[in-house]
Amino acid sequence: MKLYRTLLTLFFLNASFATGLNAQTISKEEMIFLTSAWKGDRFDDGRPKIPDDLLERAENIMIDDAWTVLRNEGYTNQYAGNWKTVNNATMIGRALTAMYMPTRPDVEENIKERGASQGRKGNTNAWPIDVLSKGDLYVADAYGKISGGPIMGATLANSIFSKSGNGVVFNGSARDLQEIQNIDGFNAFVRDFHPSFTEEMVLMGLNTPIRIGGAIVLPGDLVIATREGVLFIPAHMAEQVVSTSEFVTRKDQFGFEMVKSGTYSTGEIDSQWTDAIKTAFLEWLKKHPELGSMTRAELDKVMSKRTW
């Protein structure tokens, strides 16, 4: 019995120590568990690391097409709309997530003391910025708070951009719009802008699953933020979503030309293709290298799932 109690005590001490090392983050094991469908590279903390070239390809796809691919695969809770932005620029990146809650003195004191012992500095809304890397897109659930809710001003915006080369998506607010809009290449999707500053809020989760509007977001998700709205694509679905969306763009351009020239009818283009149309499409694609390449096997595979 005494040995059992000793082992149990050691277990909880080790668990507490591990939690302390990770601050507000989930463990690496939990991160891998929640994103187990992802088979590619990962960051040191277990967050999926979508390749840079896939991020670049995602810049050229349409959010409507990407949303349709996700819906057809059963992912129906990945989109959030109704945003205010700094400008109309599209943002693409890997989600680095944060969850804020209304403060509670005892909890905030504990969190800040632990953070200080780990070398974290400043208010907790600065902590996610410290762990950003190039290609990340900072996504935060600040529970829609506007007055007293800005978790970013001009200083933090400059820091975010210098570390990630990207912007933010906040289910909450930001301040200093007049200054932020002068950061070339930066954009922010927020619920509103407000001249106040962070009050009565504390960081309760860093790189944890969060909710943005009606969407679930996991660390490492591919984020596509456009004027239309924001789509959060699970990392393991990113290649399929991008590849299929690229094909839809090619298909549309091919279809416009074929219908305009009278080669094929709209009905033929907008249904399952015959072998003749597939062959014509692949020949047409060779004349448009700017649209990328595609094999017959790849074409057959994407057409077999066609529901658009």
**Residue 303, pLDDT score:** 86
**Residue 35, pLDDT score:** 98
Angle at 35 between CA 28 and CA 77, to 5 degrees: 135
Query: What are the extents of the domains in the chain?
Result: 52-233, 239-304
The answer as to CATH 3.50.30.40 being correct for domain 52-233 is yes
C-alpha pair distances (Å), 280 with each of 78, 155, 229, 276, 307: 35, 54, 35, 6, 21
Rg, the chain, Cα only: 23
**Residue 308, pLDDT score:** 53
**Residue 81, pLDDT score:** 97
Q: Which residue has the tokens 């829609």?
A: 144
**Residue 218, pLDDT score:** 98
**Residue 306, pLDDT score:** 65
User: What is the distance in angstroms between the CA of the first residue and the CA of the last residue of the chain?
Assistant: 64
**Residue 302, pLDDT score:** 86
**Residue 222, pLDDT score:** 98
Q: Which residue has the tokens 């529901």?
A: 307
Task: Give the pair of three-digit tokens for residue 241.
Answer: 């979503």
C-alpha pair distances (Å), 93 with each of 96, 114, 127, 280: 9, 30, 19, 35
Task: Give the pair of three-digit tokens for residue 292.
Answer: 């990328």
**Residue 187, pLDDT score:** 98
pTM: 0.87
Q: What is the mean pLDDT of each run of 10 residues along the chain (308 residues)?
A: 42 39 77 97 97 96 96 97 97 98 96 92 93 97 98 97 98 97 97 97 96 98 97 98 93 94 93 94 93 90 74
Rounded CA gap, 213 and 261, in Å?
A: 45
